[in-house]
A and B are shown apart, each in its own frame.
Chain A
């Protein structure tokens, strides 16, 4: 699970990984190790991390650590797990037909889905697009309800 992926608990670590990943997509998973869906996502991430290693880096952030709460607030993370994509320290949005384009909420069905998503992000980023559309069909995208400002 997380022993294969860098596990980040401090804001400084998150900062450094965002700043040091150059010309590669950075996938930051925000979640906790006790959540079942999060574990499923971690499984997929760790298995496909090597396959996308040429154009992507995957890291895991523990949502329960205090130091990282500022990021939790900044990224508006309300549902677990949530994955945020970065490219050259710029945040990449993905339109997957859900309400929240700024992150990917939920897990992936297969490794290939994850690889496709990361590839789409990479291709868009290389072309200079800050938002890309999701290559997965709607049935493979996890659905969720996003409440307005946490009401």
Chain B
């Protein structure tokens, strides 16, 4: 059991070589599993859809073979994604002939099968992507008939296709411009020409794919556009034009409105083509009288054939013309616009102000700003505002050496403020060093001194060298100042006191001095 599960896992995790999937446009190592992945199926559907649109264009030409103009042949290239091959139309006399042949070929069919197997499109859909032999046969028949038909009226037409499809791409060989000028172009009878070929529907592949429903015409309306090309070759449409009288011409079912912009100019072999689309004309004709339409058509042609052949004709803008132009003295459009916009101006600043008021409410100081704006407005109105901005107001500031929130910065500053006037001034006092003399000692010394003086007066005194000497110094000791060096105490005591010895010794000294004083007093008292 376990072994088989392991084997399965191994199989699943078996890595394949990297290969490129052209549907997904990526390299993968999923191997055969790749075509079942959902991403791949999605990409495949879009991929095939795109290919299908191109095939439908070609299918159109399969049903309606048209003569291919050699100049335009180079533009019609077809890339077959199945065969990874490009099919061009050089040398083909009919539109998409090579492509049709390719798609009907056996080689293509084989490769298509391989493609569907590999990328998983569904083998039953193979027929959507190829043409059957029956189709090919039909197409070839039509081509033959075309060729025959064209050769029969070759005196007037060079390869002009007469048939249901009036295709500019096919025909277009023109006589020179001079032919146009020679014709009498009356305003109401555009028998232009030998050179004018009415275009009844889109002929270019891409135009066809974009085209919508065919335009329908009512009586007396121009539905087809006039494709006017001038090239070296002669082309005839004159009979057709004459036969298809504008006034009474009905649309054929092949007329398809051209949704592209009007006024494209194809520069063929030095020629000029102006494309008036049926759609546009029909649109305009709906709003215009017939004469107007014909007139504009005429004017365009005159512009072209009066020598300004290289200028592309601007499309006929019906509404503008109807309203007036420089020649009729109408006001220019920009002035009208400003008039219209002036009433809008008052609304614009309001909206901009509203935009400003939608300033980010989270911006710094938003609440304060709103409050302040309100205050200012009140001030403008003349009301007295209670401003909390006293002389001591300070803004919200984050200080340099601050730790904590900014609200504390003011407090810190306030606390620092009173310290400023309290600047300490050091009194200049010279520091002199003196031995420490306590008050008690001072008294004792004084008393001892006095007694010693008395003693010395009566008896011998202690000389400076510590020896008792006969009294010779009477007045030296009398002094208020504790000049101990003059004192005639026993030398040890003297030294002790003056030298600043330890308190113990001083205490001893003091006691001795006290005793001495007492003794001396007694002695003095008792003669």
Give the residues in chain B near A124, CB-CB below 8 Å: 364
What separation, in Å, do the CA atoms of A91 and B394 have in the docked complex? Answer: 11
Interface-central residue, B364, B376, B397, B401, by most chain A CB under 10 Å: B364
* Nearest opposing residue in chain A for B364, CB measure: A125
Most chain B beta-carbon contacts within 10 A, residue among A12, A19, A71? A19
Q: Does A36 contact B (CB under 8 A)?
A: no
- Chain A contacts with B in 99-134, Cβ cutoff 8 A: 100, 102, 124-130
> Which of B364, B395, B399 is in CB contact (< 8 Å) with A130?
B364
B283 at the A interface (CB under 8 A): no
Pair B362/A128 contact, Cβ less than 8 Å: yes
Choice from B360, B365, B398, B420 contacting A102 with Cβ under 8 Å: B398
Cα distance, A22 to B356, chains bound together (Å):
12
Which of B366, B373, B395, B413 is most buried by chain A, counting CB atoms within 10 A of its CB? B395
User: Complex Cα distance A25/B372, Å?
Assistant: 15
Q: A102-B399, A148-B401 are in contact. Are A74 and B360 (CB under 8 A)?
A: no
Residues on B with C-beta less than 8 A from A22 are: 369, 372-373, 376
Binds B, one of A45-53, A81-89, A136-144: A81-89
A92 CB within 8 Å of chain B: yes
Q: In the complex the two chains form, is B364's CB within 8 Å of A128's CB?
A: yes
Report yes or no: A88 in contact with B364, Cβ–Cβ below 8 A.
yes
Number of residues from A at the complex interface, CB < 8 A: 34
A20 contacts across to B, CB distance below 8 A:
372, 376
Q: Does B335 contact A (CB under 8 A)?
A: no
Q: Can you list, as one digit per residue, whether each of B409-445 has a CB less than 8 Å from chain A (1) or not (0)?
A: 0000100100010000000000000000000000000
Chain A residues in 8 Å Cβ range of B369: 22-23, 88
B368: chain A residues within 8 A (beta carbon): 88-90
Residues of B within 8 A of A129 (CB): 364
User: Would you call B37 an interface residue if the criterion is a C-beta within 8 Å of the partner chain's C-beta atoms?
Assistant: no
Q: How far is the CB of B365 from chain A (nearest CB, A)?
A: 3
The reply to whether B360 and A90 contact each other, CB–CB distance below 8 Å, is no
User: Is B389 an interface residue, CB under 8 A from the partner?
Assistant: yes
Scoring B393, B397, B420 by chain A CB atoms within 10 A of each residue's CB, the highest score goes to B397
A136 to B5, CA, bound (A): 63
* B363 CB within 8 Å of chain A: yes
With A and B bound together, what is the CA distance between A116 and B316 in angstroms?
A: 52
Find B395's partner among A73, A89, A126 (CB 8 Å cutoff).
A89
The answer to whether the Cβ of B322 comes within 8 Å of any Cβ in the partner chain is no
Given contacts A74-B397, A125-B363, A127-B360, contact A89 B372 (CB under 8 A): yes
A93 proximal to B (CB < 8 A): yes
Q: Which residues does chain B contribute within 8 Å of A128, judged by CB atoms?
A: 360, 362-364, 366
Residue from A12, A15, A102, A125 in contact with B400 in the complex, judged by beta carbons closer than 8 Å: A102
B contact patch SS: loop
Size bracket, chain B contacts: 20 to 34
Closest CB in chain B relative to A4 CB, distance in Å: 24
Query: Min CB distance, B107 to chain A, in Å?
Result: 65
- With both beta carbons as reference points, the residue of chain A lying nearest to B401 in the complex is identified as A149
List chain A residues, Cβ under 8 A from B394: 70-71, 74
User: Which residues of chain A have C-beta atoms less than 8 A from B391's C-beta?
Assistant: 11-12
Contact at B360–A126, with CB atoms within 8 Å?
A: yes
- Bound together, the chains give a CA A90 to CA B407 distance in angstroms of 11
A74 to B413, CA, bound (A): 7
Residues of B within 8 A of A148 (CB): 401
Q: Complex Cα distance A92/B406, Å?
A: 12
Is B396 an interface residue when CB atoms closer than 8 A count as contact?
A: yes
State A42–B399 Cα separation when bound (angstroms).
24
Q: Give, as a whole number of angstroms, the nearest-CB distance from B181 to chain A.
A: 63
Which residues of B478-514 have CB atoms within 8 Å of chain A's CB atoms? none
Complex CA–CA separation, A102 to B395 (angstroms): 13
Bound form: Cα–Cα A108–B362 in Å: 30
Residue of B nearest to A11 (CB): B391
Measured CB to CB, the closest approach of chain A to B359, in angstroms, equals 7
Report the separation of the CA atoms of residues A93 and B363 in the bound assembly, to the nearest whole angstrom. 15
Residue of A nearest to B416 (CB): A73
Interface check A64, CB cutoff 8 A: no
CA gap between A87 and B397 in the complex, in Å:
11
Q: How long is the Cα–Cα vector from A71 to B359 in the complex, in angstroms?
A: 31
Q: Tell me which residues across on chain A come within 8 A of B416, comparing CB atoms.
A: 73
**B389 in complex: contacting residue of A19, A73, A75, A146, CB < 8 Å:** A19
Q: Is the CB of B399 within 8 A of A88?
A: no
- Contact (Cβ within 8 A) B362 A102: no
A11-29 vs B, Cβ < 8 Å mask (1 yes, 0 no): 1100100111011000000
**A66 contacts chain B at the CB level, 8 A cutoff:** no
Q: Are B413 and A126 in contact, with the CB atoms below 8 A?
A: no
Q: How far apart are A141's CB and chain B's nearest CB, in angstroms?
A: 17
- Tell me whether B365 and A75 are in contact (CB under 8 A): no
Closest to A99 in B: B400
Q: Does A35 have its Cβ within 8 Å of any Cβ on chain B?
A: no
Shortest beta-carbon distance from A105 to chain B in Å: 11
- Asked if residues A90 and B359 are in contact (CB atoms below 8 Å), the reply is no
Report the bound CA distance from A74 to B394 in whole Å.
Answer: 8
CB distance from B357 to the nearest CB of A (A): 10
B364: chain A residues at CB < 8 Å are 87-88, 90, 92, 124-126, 128-130
Which residues of A are interface residues toward B (Cβ below 8 A)? 11-12, 15, 18-20, 22-23, 70-71, 73-76, 86-93, 100, 102, 124-130, 146, 148-149
23 contacts across the A-B interface (CB closer than 8 A)? A19-B372, A19-B389, A20-B372, A23-B359, A74-B413, A86-B395, A87-B365, A89-B368, A89-B395, A90-B368, A90-B395, A91-B395, A91-B396, A93-B398, A125-B365, A126-B359, A126-B363, A127-B360, A128-B360, A128-B362, A128-B366, A130-B398, A148-B401
Known: A15-B393, A23-B359, A102-B400. 15 other contacts (CB 8 A): A11-B391, A19-B372, A19-B389, A70-B394, A74-B394, A75-B397, A76-B399, A87-B363, A89-B372, A90-B396, A91-B395, A102-B397, A128-B366, A130-B364, A149-B401
Ranked 4 nearest A-B pairs via Cβ: A88-B365, A128-B362, A90-B365, A125-B364
